[in-house]
């Protein structure tokens, strides 16, 4: 019998995702990587003007109005970098690139996850990508110290308990296995897509517009990979609970909508046909609005979800002392 699409999906992902997942710096042999010279044969160094972007309409690289909005995203990028790096490698930003933390406290409770090899390689790449995002933002608009981030199993367990409306037994542990870790990965990165989509309309400088477009595209790709890996397992029971992977995603999405307090901007992996793409599908691998474009969230909405309090003025959850930067601090001292 021919192999199913679902059984082949991990191998399809390995082929389609950048080759760098085979060449990671901690634990994977460089002998598995293609040589740079074999890739470089396709690179032609010239000054062909057709390869260059059109001149920007704006003469301002970074508008003063852009700085606070892009710096706000560091709260999410720090969280994602630590979660992915530790999940795959057991070490975080303080080992990989400590200067980017700008003296902020180390994350609380984050651990190396018990992942299958394919997922570990994907997550490791995501972690390095988040390091790049941090560097790109800080080098363009400046930064702030890493906030205190709580990525403990207890914190994720609390979120799942709130999502389901009662304490799960045993408490949910995101680091226990691949499925649990992917479900935990479903929680935070999607907010980055919402945030960048929301900020995009207010960005004025040509350098910051280019940056936010690049950040948004990679964050969207990461979320699509996470959701695809989960969709492959959508009917699998999350042991030892009685709920499927799909039901977990629906409860998490419902909670984010509840905490965000601004209507439906989040959907699980399976939806009623009325909410599917062109009302023709029940699959929801890419969460999007009626026009299949990204939902947007304001900084206040994102903080309500990250704090798990439903109030941007009351810290808790993943940022127990609140977010850093002018945008987040303004809510705390309102």
What are 158-199's pLDDT values in tens digits? 999 999 999 999 999 999 999 999 999 999 989 999 999 999
Q: pLDDT > 70: what percent of the chain?
A: 84
CA torsion angle for 249, 147, 212, 85 (degrees, to 10)? -60
Dig out the tokens for 315 from the structure.
């810290």
Q: Give me the pLDDT at residue 333, please.
A: 77
Dig out the tokens for 112 from the structure.
């190396």
Dig out the tokens for 97 from the structure.
């690139």
Cβ distance 273 to 280 under 8 Å?
yes
Interatomic CA distance for residues 171 and 316, integer angstroms: 19
Q: Give me the pLDDT at residue 40, please.
A: 58
Half-sphere exposure in the Cβ direction for 274 (13 Å, CA) = 0
Q: Give me the pLDDT at residue 57, please.
A: 72
Residues of the chain with pLDDT under 70: 1-32, 35-53, 55, 334
Dig out the tokens for 244 from the structure.
């499927």
Q: Sign of the CA dihedral 257, 332, 199, 202?
A: positive
Q: Give me the pLDDT at residue 334, please.
A: 61
- Nearest residue to 296 (alpha-carbon basis) of 166, 225, 198: 198
C-beta atoms surrounding 108 within 10 Å: 15
Cβ distance 155 to 172 under 8 Å?
no
Q: Give me the pLDDT at residue 41, please.
A: 55
Interatomic CA distance for residues 30 and 20, integer angstroms: 10
Q: Which position has the token pair 């994602």? A: 80
Q: pLDDT > 90: what percent of the chain?
A: 79
Q: Give me the pLDDT at residue 55, please.
A: 65
Q: Which residues contact 101 (CB under 8 A, 6 or more apart)?
A: 78, 93, 94, 145, 146
pTM for the whole thing?
0.87
Distances (CA, A) of 294 to 209, 220, 249, 261: 17, 9, 18, 18
Question: DSSP label at 242?
Answer: S
Q: Give me the pLDDT at residue 257, please.
A: 96
């Amino acid at each position: 019998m021919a192999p199913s699409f679902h059984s082949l999906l991990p191998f399809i992902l390995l082929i389609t995702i950048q080759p760098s997942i085979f060449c990671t710096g901690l634990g994977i042999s460089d002998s598995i990587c293609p040589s740079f010279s074999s890739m470089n044969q396709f690179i032609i160094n010239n000054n062909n003007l057709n390869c260059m972007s059109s001149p920007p309409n704006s003469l301002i690289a970074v508008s003063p109005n852009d700085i606070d909005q892009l710096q706000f995203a560091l709260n999410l990028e720090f969280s994602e970098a630590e979660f992915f790096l530790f999940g795959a490698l057991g070490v975080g930003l303080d080992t990989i690139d400590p200067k980017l933390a700008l003296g902020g406290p180390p994350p609380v409770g984050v651990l190396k996850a018990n992942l299958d090899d394919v997922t570990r390689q994907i997550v490791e790449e995501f972690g390095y990508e988040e390091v790049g995002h941090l560097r790109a933002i800080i080098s363009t608009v400046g930064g702030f110290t890493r906030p205190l981030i709580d990525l403990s199993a207890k914190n994720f367990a609390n979120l799942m308990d709130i999502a389901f409306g009662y304490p799960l037994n045993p408490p949910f542990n995101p680091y226990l296995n691949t499925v649990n870790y992917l479900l935990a990965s479903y929680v935070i990165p999607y907010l980055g897509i919402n945030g960048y989509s929301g900020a995009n309309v207010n960005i004025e400088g040509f350098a910051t517009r280019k940056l936010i477009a690049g950040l948004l595209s990679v964050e969207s790709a990461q979320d699509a990979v996470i959701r695809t890996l989960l969709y492959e397992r959508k009917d699998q029971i999350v042991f030892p609970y009685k709920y499927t992977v799909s039901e977990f995603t629906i409860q998490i999405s419902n909670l984010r909508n509840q905490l965000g307090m601004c209507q439906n901007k989040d959907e699980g992996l399976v939806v009623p046909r009325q909410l599917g793409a062109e009302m023709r599908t029940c699959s929801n691998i890419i969460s999007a609005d009626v026009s299949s474009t990204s939902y947007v969230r304001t900084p206040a909405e994102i903080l309500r979800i990250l704090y798990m309090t439903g109030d941007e003025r009351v810290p808790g959850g993943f940022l127990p002392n609140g977010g850093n930067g002018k945008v987040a601090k303004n809510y705390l001292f309102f």
